[in-house]
């Protein structure tokens, strides 16, 4: 039996939705001292699941750690589901699981699903690189990446800022398409981005239009604090980043449009 089985059983029996526990109280339930890292590092109380026995103790019981206050030696648990399973006896549970392979598979799947159903926070971190005014920055500029990325065009409509977010597998081609359209040069907007920007978004071709770009290495996707660089050369992932940036524009109160190639 795991050292943390008493904690799982205690949580499974609780009828409350939230349990604010002192670390000393947790140790009393376990009948043993917590490791030093549990008192010094918040990550010990993370809800990542996986092969960490102590985390699975509360996840299996249908709970998650909502908040840690190690300065006050307090951990706040919150029930993931109402009416969690009440466990009566650890040995009986082991016998029940071990009777058939089907039971073992059900138990394993239930354990995995408990981790999968945890609330998740997906965050996008980006760094915009300025390209300058569309009318002033030539298509040949070395600052314009040739690979996948996300462009943002910004102009003033009266006193209000308006933006357009554009996702593309070739930033350079899109920039050229829009720049040529701003000059009314026929036959140079085969991609249609320029027409969409000036007609659908209502941009004035004569007005100043600033351009920024998110290029490879300047976007990160994070889930519950763990992240990786976004693959902007992948069409679907580039579109995902563009949509998240578009939502940020709307949440900031700016009128914006989204164009995805």
Question: What is the C-alpha separation between 93 and 87, in angstroms, rounded?
Answer: 8
> Whole-structure pTM over 0.85, yes or no?
no
Tokens 């609330």, residue located: 119
- End-to-end distance of the chain based on CA atoms, in angstroms? 56
For residue 45, the SS3 value is helix
Nearest Cα neighbor of 166 from 211, 227, 126 is: 211
State residue 235's pLDDT score: 94
Contact 137, 121 (CB under 8 A): no
User: Do 166 and 197 form a contact (C-beta atoms < 8 A)?
Assistant: yes
Which residues are bridge partners to 167 per DSSP?
A: 150, 260
Distance CA 97, CA 104 (A): 5
Query: What pLDDT score does 149 carry?
Result: 96
DSSP state of 127: -
Report how far residue 77's alpha carbon sits from residue 226's, in angstroms, rounded to the nearest whole number. 21
Tens-digit pLDDT string for the chain (261 aa): 678 999 999 998 888 888 999 999 999 999 999 999 999 998 899 887 556 889 888 988 889 999 999 999 999 999 886 544 443 344 444 444 445 777 778 877 877 776 677 676 778 899 999 999 999 999 899 999 999 999 999 999 888 999 999 999 999 988 988 888 888 875 555 667 777 778 878 888 899 999 999 999 999 998 766 788 999 999 999 999 999 999 999 999 999 999 886
Contacts of 193 (CB under 8 A, 6+ apart): 166, 168, 174, 177, 178, 181, 259, 261
> How many CB atoms are located within 10 Å of the residue 219 CB?
25
CB 58 within 8 A of CB 77: yes
Q: Which two tokens stand for residue 104?
A: 């073992």
């Amino acid at each position: 039996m795991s050292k943390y089985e008493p904690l799982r059983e205690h949580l499974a029996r609780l009828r409350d939705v939230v349990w604010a526990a002192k670390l000393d109280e947790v140790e009393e339930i376990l009948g043993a001292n917590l490791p030093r890292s549990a008192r010094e590092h918040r990550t010990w109380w993370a809800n990542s699941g996986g092969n960490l026995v102590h985390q699975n103790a509360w996840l299996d019981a249908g709970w998650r750690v909502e908040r840690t206050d190690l300065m006050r030696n307090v951990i706040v648990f919150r029930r993931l589901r109402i009416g969690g399973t009440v466990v009566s006896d650890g040995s009986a549970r082991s016998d029940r699981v071990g009777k058939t392979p089907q039971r073992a598979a059900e138990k394993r799947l239930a354990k995995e699903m408990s981790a999968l159903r945890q609330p998740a926070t997906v965050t996008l971190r980006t760094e915009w690189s300025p390209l300058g005014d569309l009318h002033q920055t030539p298509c040949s500029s070395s600052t314009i990446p040739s690979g996948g990325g996300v462009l943002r065009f910004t102009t003033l409509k009266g006193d209000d800022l308006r933006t357009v977010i554009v996702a593309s597998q070739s930033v350079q081609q899109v920039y050229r398409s829009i720049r040529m359209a701003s000059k009314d040069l026929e036959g140079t907007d085969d991609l249609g981005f320029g027409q969409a920007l000036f007609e659908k978004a209502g941009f004035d071709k004569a007005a100043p239009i600033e351009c920024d770009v998110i290029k490879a290495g300047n976007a990160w996707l994070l889930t519950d604090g763990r992240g990786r660089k976004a693959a902007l050369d992948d069409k679907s992932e580039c579109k995902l980043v563009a949509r998240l940036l578009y939502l940020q524009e709307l949440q900031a109160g700016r009128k914006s449009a989204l164009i995805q190639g």
